[in-house]
Amino acid sequence: MRLGGLEARGSNMICAVGTPEGQILHQVTIPTRGPQETTADIIAYFADKEIEALGVASFGPVDVRKGSPTYGYILDTPKEAWQRFDLLGTLKGALHVPAELDTDMNGACLGELTFGAAKGLDSVLYVSIGTGIGAGIAVDGHLLHGMLHPEAGHMLLRRHPRDGYEGNCPFHGTCFEGMASGPAIADRWGRPAEKLQDDAKVWDMESHYIAQALVNLILVLSPRIIILGGGVMKNEQLFPMIRTQVRKILNDYLDTKELADMEGYIVPASLQGNQGILGALELARRALADEGGEAAGGPPHLRR
């Protein structure tokens, strides 16, 4: 069986053909331009690939509520040409296959849940820290949506005592993304994050913000594992610093076997950057199962 996956990003579109087992057979990257020309290229790519279903993991905000009249539409994005664009409907209408769409973050979370570090776990948190910050959340194998979808990248955090930076989120200033995204690091220190590798105070401050955000998410969601992806997390020295700070902030308030094994609890993304596109393939598999009347649900054997 061949499935189609699309990871729709602000900068480019990753299109792949793969199997339900998570094998990627073919993949291309198309630059993101206006919605019409970009989707024309995506449709042209998939047109002769004999895919049986399509899964889309998209930048947002996006309507992920199945049954909503605007399901699969891009909502009020700063990318004006894409505002209110019916991404899923356009692709589905041209390719005539069952299709499902979720956020890019939930896509990456689903990739890790189905094929990666979180395989079979019933509660998974995926956080991407890069140009922006976002989270994908799965509870009992189901991706969390709600009234829109979680926007955990904008949670409010306590300022580091030695941080005078005003934050760069246009909506909240000093929210998580405003203080800890790649552009916020560059703005605060006057140099891109890649050139600050050896500066301990940069990463001490960065891990302070990431750990605070993770503690908030741990307390609310009680995830079984936390997977950290995105460009900033390529800086591996952050992982031990974050684990130490999470333990310090929690201050022994929680006692679980997961937290006792911090190295197994807060881990890097495990799928070589393919977590998003693999999640899109799993969305395609679920779309097909839904169409066939099978119970799509979550993965069959959840570990508890």
- Please report how close the Cβ of residue 172 comes to Zn ion at its closest, in angstroms: 4
- Please report how close the Cβ of residue 152 comes to Zn ion at its closest, in angstroms: 11
Quickly list DSSP for 34-102: SHHHHHHHHHHHHHTS--S-EEEEE-SSB---TTSTTTTBB-S-SSGGGTT-BHHHHHHHHH-S-EEEE
Pick 155 or 218: Cβ nearer Zn ion: 155
Q: Which residue has the tokens 């503690």?
A: 215
Which among 46-54, 153-161, 214-222, 245-253 is the span making contact with Zn ion, rule CB under 5 A?
153-161
Is residue 169 at the binding interface for Zn ion, with CB under 5 A as the rule? yes
Pick 118 or 184: Cβ nearer Zn ion: 184
- Distance of alpha carbon 125 from its chain centroid, rounded? 9
Which among 22-30, 154-162, 218-226, 270-278 is the span making contact with Zn ion, rule CB under 5 A?
154-162
Q: Which one of 49, 119, 142, 172 is in contact with Zn ion (CB under 5 A)? A: 172
Q: Which one of 2, 65, 145, 154 is in contact with Zn ion (CB under 5 A)? A: 154
b/e map 123-136, b = 16+ CB within 10 Å: bbbbbbbbebbbbb
Quickly list DSSP for 179-204: HHSHHHHHHHHTS-GGGGTT-HHHHH
Q: Tell me the residue type at 188.
A: R
CA atoms within 13 A on the CB side of 105: 27
Pick 213 or 242: Cβ nearer Zn ion: 213
The site string for Zn ion over 107-146 (x = CB under 5 A, - otherwise) reads ----------------------------------------
Which among 86-94, 148-156, 179-187, 259-267 is the span making contact with Zn ion, rule CB under 5 A?
148-156
Cis geometry, peptide bond prior to residue 78 (ω within 30 degrees of 0): no
The site string for Zn ion over 33-72 (x = CB under 5 A, - otherwise) reads ----------------------------------------
CB neighbour list of residue 177: distance below 8 Å, 6 or more residues apart: 132, 133, 153, 154, 169, 184
- Cβ atoms of 16 and 29 within 8 Å: the answer is no
Pick 24 or 156: Cβ nearer Zn ion: 156
- Please report how close the Cβ of residue 60 comes to Zn ion at its closest, in angstroms: 14
Edge-to-edge strand ranges of the sheet holding 133-139:
142-143, 133-139, 123-129, 225-229, 266-268
Pick 16 or 205: Cβ nearer Zn ion: 205
Pick 211 or 213: Cβ nearer Zn ion: 213
Beta partners for residue 294, in sequence order: none
- Please report how close the Cβ of residue 175 comes to Zn ion at its closest, in angstroms: 3
Q: Which one of 171, 190, 260, 272 is in contact with Zn ion (CB under 5 A)? A: 171
Which among 115-123, 171-179, 241-249, 286-294 is the span making contact with Zn ion, rule CB under 5 A?
171-179
Angle between helices 275-291 and 104-115 (to 10 degrees): 90
Q: Which of residues 175-204 bind Zn ion (CB under 5 A)?
A: 175
Q: How far, in Å, CA of 197 to CA of 261, rounded?
A: 27
- Please report how close the Cβ of residue 6 comes to Zn ion at its closest, in angstroms: 27
Pick 142 or 172: Cβ nearer Zn ion: 172
As a whole number of Å, the CA-based R_g of the chain is: 19
Is residue 165 at the binding interface for Zn ion, with CB under 5 A as the rule? no
Q: How many residues bind Zn ion (CB under 5 A)?
A: 5
Question: Which stretches of the chain bind Zn ion, using CB under 5 A?
Answer: 154, 169, 171-172, 175
